[in-house]
Chain A
């Protein structure tokens, strides 16, 4: 049970750093899994190390190096091994000698931008993000999207190989690309949330909120990130009140006693933080926004009696489609900009995007995401997730 917690808390962090070190998602995933398995065996016996993340990363890294040594076939990886051997010979039996103070860079942000790269198919982005950052198993993801596990496994493998072969960079995009790329990331997170929320899959909604939390931790100044997290929390707060006798209960008819106060206050806090964020941005909490809708109802009092006749409709709809609307991008008109013309965050901020009408339940819109592609050179040094 404690290891469950350890896995949930540390999987993404450990995997991201390993990909940064090893430069290969598949290898890093295998090694991370091995490290967690070793931890499952040892920690109950020897106690949890003081620096569990460092321990897991170091253990996984050494496993990976072992693995590479066994697989001398690929010249590229053998080259890596030559370096790796020095690492290992210096840190003999690193499992025991991982320094308590050793910290590794947190590269979850690099990882999420890699997984949500527009060069990958949308379904692949969603699946890969759930796998790498959400820690869901292939079977769980397959179940969520109603496809056979084998199909999902192939989809994931294909995505990993494309990242490696086409060398999709393992990096946070430079500033001039960030708005578009961030929109693509948020679309994936919101798609996951919608799939969980609209389709009644609590675990996916929770995974999306976790991703949102991780993003808001990593990019605390991005208004769009805070707004998305607020949106998800405010929607999720009404989860228990939303369905009664397998029927969807609309907002006005919901039993407010079932709303989650803590999530509501967190969502409101986030949305006010977002309004205070230094960079003015057009996303997405413009009236009518979920915050306004929700908070107005909240301030109106939980005991407010419904004045409208009861309306409800079947809660369960087919969730065999890829998923309902990821609004961040579907609401964003494809911008006709040229990277060669100078444009800055100011032009982004002033570009107009229609405000999403979020009083609509997120699951009810059906537009699919359309992403703008990568359009510019990257002046910053970037690392590849491929060998």
Chain B
């Protein structure tokens, strides 16, 4: 019996598994980034972040976050007849709106969902949409 990359024992030719381990690693090695989009209908509270949320935000896996002002403060930019058209309000007018954004690092979707769950636990309503990030760049602070 030999152990493969994940520590499972398999009856096999060790050599084969050494080769597969390399492949496995190339598949699993990279850390993913996910955007957690928090939707809700509550107005963003001014003042310090609640301790429950702050403890999640302090985790190393949370690489960026933003609290957004309410939808009343939004301006949407569109193109129309070669001119910029401005609309007062969010792009999609809904009862619930985007209230905050978090960027997290995680090995896979399950790990990202776990962070989202912790964040959602601090909220009384709304939902958090978890989206894998295709590409991102963060500069400044």
Which A residues form the contact surface with B (CB < 8 A)?
20-23, 79-80, 83-84, 86-87, 90, 99, 101-105, 117, 119, 165-169, 173, 177, 338-340, 373-378, 381-384, 387
Contacts and interface: CB of A to CB of B under 8 A. Distances in A.
A167 B108 CA distance: 5
A69 to B, nearest CB: 15
Contacts of B111: 377-378
Contacts of B12: 102-105
Name the prevailing secondary structure of the B interface residues. helix
Contacts of B134: 165
A92 B24 CA distance: 21
Given A23-B26, A80-B26, A384-B108, 15 more contacts: A22-B23, A23-B23, A103-B10, A104-B10, A105-B4, A117-B109, A166-B130, A166-B132, A340-B118, A374-B113, A375-B114, A377-B110, A383-B24, A384-B28, A384-B32
B19 A86 contact: yes
A382 B107 contact: yes
B22 A374 contact: no
B138 interface: no
A338 B110 contact: no
A230 B51 CA distance: 50
B117 A375 contact: yes
Interface string B91-129: 000000000000000011111011101100100000000
B20 interface: yes
A80 B117 CA distance: 33
7 contacts: A21-B23, A117-B109, A166-B130, A169-B110, A382-B107, A382-B110, A384-B108
B83 interface: no
Contacts, number: 103
A168 B132 CA distance: 10
A164 to B, nearest CB: 9
Contacts of A383: 6, 24, 27-28
Contacts of A378: 107-108, 110-111, 114
Nearest to A165: B132
Contact of A83 (B23, B107, B114): B23
Contacts of B23: 21-23, 80, 83-84, 87
A167 B114 CA distance: 14
Contacts of A387: 27
Interface of B: 4, 6, 8, 10-13, 16, 19-20, 22-24, 26-28, 32, 107-111, 113-115, 117-118, 121, 130-132, 134
A112 B110 CA distance: 16
Q: Which 9 A-B pairs have the closest CB atoms?
A: A23-B27, A377-B114, A169-B108, A383-B28, A374-B113, A167-B108, A166-B132, A166-B109, A378-B110
A363 to B, nearest CB: 33
A21 B25 CA distance: 10
B20 A338 contact: no
Q: Which of B8, B111, B113 has the most CB of A within 10 A?
A: B113
A104 B12 CA distance: 7
A381 B27 contact: no
B93 to A, nearest CB: 26
Contacts of A167: 32, 107-109, 132
Contact of A119 (B11, B113, B115): B113
Nearest to B32: A167
Given A167-B108, A375-B114, A384 B27 contact: yes
Contacts of A376: 110, 114, 117
A21 B113 CA distance: 25
Nearest to B9: A105
A202 to B, nearest CB: 36
Contact of A169 (B22, B24, B109, B131): B109
Given A166-B109, A376-B117, A381-B28, A83 B22 contact: yes
A90 B18 CA distance: 13
A164 B23 CA distance: 16
Given A21-B20, A86-B19, A104-B12, A382 B108 contact: yes
Contact of B110 (A21, A80, A374): A374
Contacts of A338: 121
Given A103-B11, A168-B108, A382 B28 contact: yes
A8 B6 CA distance: 28
A296 B43 CA distance: 61
Highest count of chain B CB atoms <10 Å: which of A173, A377, A387? A377
Nearest to B117: A375
Given A166-B132, A338-B121, A381 B6 contact: yes
B79 to A, nearest CB: 28
